[in-house]
Amino acid sequence: MEHRPGLDPAVAEIRRAVRGGFSAVAGPVLVGLSGGADSLALAAAVAFEAPKAGIRASAVVIDHGLQPGSDQVAARAVAAAEGLGLPARAVRVEVAAPTAGGGPEAAARDARRSALLTAARGAGAEAILLAHTLDDQAETVLIGLARGSGAASLGGMAPDRLEEGIRILRPLLDVRRASTRAACVAEGLPVWEDPHNLDRRFLRVRVRQDVLPVLEAELGPGVAEALARTADQLREDAEAFADMIDETIEDIVEHAEAGIAVSVPALAANPPALRHRIIRHVVASEFGESLSRAQTLEVARLVTDWHGQGPIDLPGCRAHRAGARIVFAAR
């Protein structure tokens, strides 16, 4: 722990977290900065720790253009980063209209993700650092639970993952949001309060303002930490299943006309949890589509409850039983 006289405990906590994140990288890093408390606290810690670690760091502010004056907000965030000694620039993005499967939050997130990856490649960055906190993780788990999204979703956000060859690091996933705010106050950083964080049209805002406080009040303190621990455990389970699938799948699948086929005896020999994951993995990897729980169970019945039923229409493909194989073919 840091024991420098006069160093605010919240500042010390965030610097420790960033130092731990730096242990995973050797090359340049890019901080995703919004101007809010979480990302400003992250940027300040990166500006302090990066030179000591010999890591070149910079920041990028993604301006979605969704609110009046967003360009001014972006400019202030750039100025704050540069005041910390962190080179920064703003990037304006166009947010596509929401699709049937997602809302404005998802559309903005997709645009931001693409812009961050492009900016990282342009900066030669090995990793992008994002400022999601333990509170964000707890909210993500609750939303996934409410939607019945399964273990993969309940695993929440990974602290370290690879996307298009660039590492996505979230060093603050063990840090509470209150600490990032306290750090900004201690360092005199100009925090921007995003009005969307108070807009109750968004599910995450309702979870933040209503659901988590009620759970804390009724179940006692520590709910957010417990949800984050649950995410860690489920993510470990999901990674173990992924390894098992990788080891199994080459032996039980084969190419079929316009698709892929899976051995019925091999699927039947596996426990339901692994069988269902194999089915979902086959459809996702071959056709780029996600199956719902109900769709997965219908396909599994072709293995465990076969009585001559016909083909099953699925997103992007159709599944049918042909002898000792389940065939997934493009529709």
Specify whether the CB–CB gap between 33 and 61 falls below 8 A. yes
pLDDT tens, 81-139? Answer: 999 999 999 998 777 666 555 566 777 788 889 999 999 999 999 999 999 999 999 99
Reported pTM: 0.82
Question: Would strands 253-256 and 259-263 be described as parallel, antiparallel, or unpaired?
Answer: antiparallel
Could you give the CA distance from residue 265 to residue 199 in angstroms, rounded to a whole number?
52
pLDDT tens-digit readout, 235-248: 888 888 888 888 88
pLDDT at 3: 47
Phi, psi of 30 (to 5 degrees): -125, 125
Strand ranges, E, within 146-187: 160-163, 166-169
Which domains are seen in the chain, by residue range? 9-227 (3.40.50.620), 257-330 (3.30.465.60)
